[in-house]
Structure 1
């Protein structure tokens, strides 16, 4: 225990001195989370609305009837109390003063309603929603014109796997916690590269020090570092941004321990073939950047293009994010088969990378003694 205590204190000092590990493990995820939550928090709860300009240059019975009905659509905010000319409306759309312009029929026999949008926003969410709203409006107008009353209507409801109060803030919080722990593991092994480069590991092997205790103290130190990450990010998300967490503690404990160990193994693998700190940080940065956007941290994997989803489905962070989300947001039981299938893939990554890393370290040790 005395030797373990001394090694643990040494690991603690190394961790506090390693500024890069603190930045990538703590400050970078906090900065990202604050930025994204500031932008998106509460957006899912606000009602959709769009600003439009109305063009009615030749008022007639048809255009007046349509204008009266358009004014009753609650999601449309009419920019001007009076209709404007088409030229004025096009300028407003070009300058993005309004989301779109609606051109009403110029005569009673005209049957077309024109929607003018900005070319740059043609595929945007607001434009698509406006198009859908006007399509529905036109269908209702057609039924009204032939004297037919609508028989069926669509009522929209949304439910969640967990609690009805879940929002994007809850979704993002768990993704950022997973990212922080993963980056802490991937970037946290940089001190091993320096120790090997300076010959400290070789000297340590020549002392009575137990290398197993050295590895155990390092692992416990990193787990404590990850505990700090998960507590700090949860407090920021809940207290500052109003996130909701519905934690199943047995599930969280399993996912947390296995996830942290798996990403520590990934960092150990990076350190096994990196000759310099710069090389290690380069590999870790590329891997982190790839998983940052493809592992469901900021948005669901299902919303990605179909050709990208197979890549996401083999990344370990994808399953760590899902596991934390299941245990912290949806309160999934530890006996869930879905939870364990994702954990299995994540652990497989950890086992394989640890074995390869151990083999590379052993191989280099044998070569060095020849």
Structure 2
């Protein structure tokens, strides 16, 4: 512990002396989050399709007519062959088993069609496309009523799986926090590559210093930076963008610490076999770019193409995003089995990459002495 304490203090001094560390460690994640949360939007897809369920609890001539017409819309994929109850539909939307539920008029005199989507996805491309599509459908249904004034209108409703009403901003904020912490860990170990290139690591090996403790002390120092990040980004999200957070602090503490250490271990692993700073940054950029768009930061993993989802399901950032979202937005209990499954996968990633990184550094040490 004495050796660890001295190494941690030394790492902090080295980092704080570098003015660029303040920018890349603190201010760049803030700038990145502000940009994405300000201008982020969905992209178009020529092969758009949406999975929906139909609610027709009180069949009547009006609802049956609308049902027959809706079934003819080619881009709508019906979850069930027959209409389901409103309760079942709401649950499917909450669980994100479907993109939306369409509630048909409950009587012949009713004039409203209700579109129900998940609150976290209401600003996403699928929800917006469905809203526009059904608005167009309603207008054509009105025109088809020969000589009659407009009859039908479309209403919009969003529900959430959390206890409180949530917005897409809440969903995106937690994703950006996870991304910032992950990138800080993956890119933060570049100083080890520079130290190795200058021969400082070789000199350190000649001392009684334990290299594993040296690497771990650097990871803990990055963890301290991550604490500043999560506090600062959360405050900006709440007070600037109006996000609402419902935090379960025990869950958040566990997810944050283990997640941040795991990504620091990933950066430590990259540094262990990178001979130049350029090689390290190239590796970190490729992995970061891959995880940025496949880990559920901007859209739920369930909404990306099926053939890509297996890749998403093995990426550590996927489980870090879900863990932070569960603990910061859904206030998930620390005793949740789903939460601990994701934490377990994060820990495995962290342990494996740290052990491999330590092995590579030891291997370099053996080669250097020959």
Same fold (TM over 0.5): yes
Q: What is the rounded CA distance, in whole Å, between the counterparts of 1:20 and 1:283 in structure 2?
A: 21
Q: What is the rounded CA distance, in whole Å, between the counterparts of 1:311 and 1:127 in structure 2?
A: 27
Q: Structure 1: any 5+ residue segments left out of the alignment?
A: 42-122
Check whether the contact 2:135–2:154 (CA below 8 A) recurs between aligned residues: no
Check whether the contact 1:21–1:187 (CA below 8 A) recurs between aligned residues: no
Residue of structure 2 in register with 1:258 after alignment: 258
Cα deviation per residue 1:110-130 (whole Å; 9 max; x = unaligned)? xxxxxxxxxxxxx99867644
Residue of structure 1 in register with 2:268 after alignment: 268
Deviation, 1:315, is: 1.0
Q: What is the rounded CA distance, in whole Å, between the counterparts of 2:169 and 2:127 in structure 1?
A: 20
Residue of structure 2 in register with 1:314 after alignment: 314
Q: What is the rounded CA distance, in whole Å, between the counterparts of 1:2 and 1:125 in structure 2?
A: 56
Q: What is the rounded CA distance, in whole Å, between the counterparts of 1:199 and 1:264 in structure 2?
A: 22
Is 1:288 paired with 2:304?
no
Q: What is the rounded CA distance, in whole Å, between the counterparts of 1:176 and 1:223 in structure 2?
A: 17
Is 1:135 paired with 2:137?
yes
Deviation, 1:288, is: 0.9
Check whether the contact 1:274–1:280 (CA below 8 A) recurs between aligned residues: yes
Residue of structure 2 in register with 1:369 after alignment: 369
- Larger of the two Rg values belongs to structure: 1
Check whether the contact 1:21–1:184 (CA below 8 A) recurs between aligned residues: no
Cα distance change on mapping 1:319 and 1:264 into 2, 3 Å: same
Cα deviation per residue 1:187-240 (whole Å; 9 max; x = unaligned)? 111111122222212222322445455344323212111101101101111111
Residue of structure 1 in register with 2:236 after alignment: 236
Q: What is the rounded CA distance, in whole Å, between the counterparts of 2:138 and 2:205 in structure 1?
A: 75
How many pairs are equivalent?
286
Is 1:194 paired with 2:219?
no
Q: What is the rounded CA distance, in whole Å, between the counterparts of 1:145 and 1:9 in structure 2?
A: 82
Cα deviation per residue 1:322-346 (whole Å; 9 max; x = unaligned)? 1000000100011111111112222
Q: What is the rounded CA distance, in whole Å, between the counterparts of 2:15 and 2:206 in structure 1?
A: 24
Check whether the contact 1:15–1:21 (CA below 8 A) recurs between aligned residues: yes
Check whether the contact 2:272–2:358 (CA below 8 A) recurs between aligned residues: yes
Q: What is the rounded CA distance, in whole Å, between the counterparts of 2:223 and 2:312 in structure 1?
A: 26
Check whether the contact 1:269–1:357 (CA below 8 A) recurs between aligned residues: yes
Deviation, 1:35, is: 1.8
Deviation, 1:160, is: 1.3
Q: CA RMSD in A?
A: 2.9
Cα deviation per residue 1:45-68 (whole Å; 9 max; x = unaligned)? xxxxxxxxxxxxxxxxxxxxxxxx
Q: What is the rounded CA distance, in whole Å, between the counterparts of 1:129 and 1:33 in structure 2?
A: 28
Deviation, 1:351, is: 1.7
Cα distance change on mapping 1:20 and 1:161 into 2, 3 Å: farther
Check whether the contact 2:205–2:365 (CA below 8 A) recurs between aligned residues: no
Deviation, 1:161, is: 2.0
Task: Note the 1:63-82 alignment, pairs <5 A.
Answer: none
Quick check: 130-139 or 8-17, which moved more? 130-139
Task: Note the 1:349-364 alignment, pairs <5 A.
Answer: 349-364=349-364
Is 1:207 paired with 2:201?
no
Residue of structure 1 in register with 2:166 after alignment: 166
Check whether the contact 1:312–1:318 (CA below 8 A) recurs between aligned residues: yes
Q: What is the rounded CA distance, in whole Å, between the counterparts of 1:163 and 1:208 in structure 2?
A: 54
Cα distance change on mapping 1:158 and 1:126 into 2, 3 Å: closer
Deviation, 1:251, is: 0.5
Task: Note the 1:1-370 alignment, pairs <5 A.
Answer: 3-18=3-18, 22-39=22-39, 129-142=131-144, 157-211=157-211, 213-370=213-370
Q: What is the rounded CA distance, in whole Å, between the counterparts of 2:129 and 2:211 in structure 1?
A: 62
Q: What is the rounded CA distance, in whole Å, between the counterparts of 2:157 and 2:130 in structure 1?
A: 20
Per the alignment, in what secondary structure is the counterpart of residue 158 of structure 1? strand
Q: What is the rounded CA distance, in whole Å, between the counterparts of 1:21 and 1:305 in structure 2?
A: 38
Residue of structure 2 in register with 1:93 after alignment: none
Q: What is the rounded CA distance, in whole Å, between the counterparts of 2:331 and 2:16 in structure 1?
A: 34
Cα distance change on mapping 1:124 and 1:366 into 2, 3 Å: closer
